[in-house]
Structure 1
């Protein structure tokens, strides 16, 4: 889950010597990159959405993280129906979300890369909105922002339990268009990035995060530290259906645990500033105390509804994740059959 209670740093003061990476995006310079794993129906719907974009990309790159190539038929089906852009298909047989994303970068030719998840749906103006934000919200004497993030809106089915609906567990914070995205809210799933930022290194996404997740925030955090300017576009909405397998307390607590571990890894790596031995010990002690307080709040929250108790348990899991992350243990969420590209 997100960590709004953690420190938020404004990176705008880091750009005095900001380098130039290229020109503003246009149709002829955009590749849409999709990492996929055993979601042929969802992928097919997404490809249909991309065909209907008001601003069409140069190409769409699909990289299949299923060694059996389960997405190949979907891509062939879309090609047979006609595509107004080049549709590229590649595979990454080793289950690893970072390697899969890296493969999509290697196959893409565009000077700007748009990333969208295989279970998301894009409105007709999605890509155009990202591009417009990149061009209009320039700063520091440059032509465009270096990356633009948009919201991912969860869609709960009518059959979702009442406590799931009341808890609003899947929502991510949103900002005004043009605002700098805080370091603790950096993620992929709906983003447009200058290709040069990703191509100047052999493995832009760190394979060490390939089975745990968190490779997206880690990459964007590094780019910001190197001078990249990441802004928000609130109009570029994509939607994501919340699968039945995620509508339970176990999944929510495990996602909270992983989020806490991601935060700890990023703190230890220096993403939020240098952290010495004393800082590391302080983080562990503070997180352990916050975990204990959250557990105490569970029965009190239950008096206000099951969703309140669940929120306290998720907060406890997130802080337990920080402690375990500092200790070096990481939950490998994507080493399961749930899929490496989810």
Structure 2
């Protein structure tokens, strides 16, 4: 299989050179893959440094005016010759088997989008912020590693994923209007098109985390802006965007009020709290530190939302437009007395968005419709029955057994 690795970069010469240099040691044949680096508005020595590299594979360096990561990735994909596209961020250091692992996953799961594993790496001593980031990333990947995990659009992480070139072209690539969350928007279109995701834990690329508090807060601001655009593009997912639920949390509501009603006060509060984090860490007050950081993240997210919508009235109108577009999704009812294999086959054929589960007519539970999540199949049913619905399922079987013994039933489970 011919492969093209696409790497967008913006003024991070040292990181992207390390990335490309690591690709020189791949276990996959260098004759079967190429690397395209898109220098997106780079003003440093990125281009010169890359062109000085001697690589066993074909390396193409493309310069373009700064257009954002979505534009850069699309440009690289347009120039690709490979049947498979692997997208890597410039701060990802691929392991020797990364390309081979992506190819193997696509041979095992043709037609899937493959998400690689990016364990974070921090320079210097770990503080509260880096520990927080580490836990967040590991929680994300450990969830995807579970059998029966239900993927959502948020799981498509552009730092390390692969997709067939023909599929990427057919789906329309990244939306260039997004400067943040462009991977999630692409993920949403893929899920709506019924394209399954697969997590390849052996496709490892170490994420050299360069984010700090200021960059993290700026990212939250951009996420707020991007979520508004996401809602305009896809009104059916507004109900699962953070802006739809953050006001239900006390500190989230306070942050909302500061942004929309008392913006000057909000700026002062934000400034003071950001500087308080330093003292909280020095004193070892981790819980309070996390609470303050959570508030600041929410505040800057609301700032991004306000930048796009302007007023509370506009926000309310935006939310109402989403509620009018959110349906209950296609739902089926199954009775487990037919047997797991039988009902599983039915689910795999229908692929509903929600399932009501019964055992001999007795309600066991429900897998609800979740906007932006993949449709349900047998693997999701088995996971739920082994987890949160294990006791309700067992209780239904026991009740049926008791009633059967009293003459109200009589059939054995799954008979």
Pairwise same-fold verdict (TM > 0.5): yes
The 8 Å contact of residues 152 and 238 in structure 1, kept in 2 or not, is answered as yes
Q: Which has the higher contact order (CA 8 A, sep 6+)?
A: 1
Query: What's 1:223 paired with?
Result: 190
Q: What is the CA–CA distance in structure 1 between the aligned matches of 2:206 and 2:229, rounded to whole Å?
A: 29
1:185 aligns with 2:150: no
Q: What is the CA–CA distance in structure 1 between the aligned matches of 2:185 and 2:113, rounded to whole Å?
A: 14
Q: 1:25-80, CA deviations, whole angstroms, 9 ceiling, x for partnerless residues? A: x2xx21001111222222221111111111144211111113658332223222xx
Name the TM-score, length of structure 2 as normaliser.
0.59
Cα distance, 1:100–1:185 mapped onto 2, change above 3 Å: same
The 8 Å contact of residues 154 and 187 in structure 2, kept in 1 or not, is answered as no
- Of 190, 213, 216, which aligns to 1:252? 216
Name the TM-score, length of structure 1 as normaliser.
0.70
- Of 226, 236, 249, which aligns to 1:290? 249
The 8 Å contact of residues 151 and 234 in structure 1, kept in 2 or not, is answered as yes
SS in 2 for 1:171: helix
- Of 42, 46, 58, which aligns to 2:19? 46
Q: 1:136-171, CA deviations, whole angstroms, 9 ceiling, x for partnerless residues? A: 2x3xxxxx14310112222122234x3224423673
Structure 2 unaligned spans of 5+ = 256-269, 315-415
Give the alignment's Cα RMSD to 1 decimal. 3.3
Query: What's 2:173 paired with?
Result: 204
Structure 1 unaligned spans of 5+ = 1-25, 139-143, 330-342
1:97 aligns with 2:72: no
Q: What is the CA–CA distance in structure 1 between the aligned matches of 2:121 and 2:237, rounded to whole Å?
A: 39
Query: What's 2:289 paired with?
Result: 306
Q: What is the CA–CA distance in structure 2 between the aligned matches of 1:200 and 1:183, rounded to whole Å?
A: 18
Which piece of structure 1 moves more, 187-196 or 256-265?
256-265
Q: 1:147-202, CA deviations, whole angstroms, 9 ceiling, x for partnerless residues? A: 10112222122234x3224423673301227756322222201001110122237x
1:194 aligns with 2:164: yes
The 8 Å contact of residues 38 and 64 in structure 2, kept in 1 or not, is answered as yes
1:150 aligns with 2:150: no
SS in 2 for 1:258: helix
Q: Number of paired residues?
A: 279
Q: What is the CA–CA distance in structure 2 between the aligned matches of 1:319 and 1:94, rounded to whole Å?
A: 26
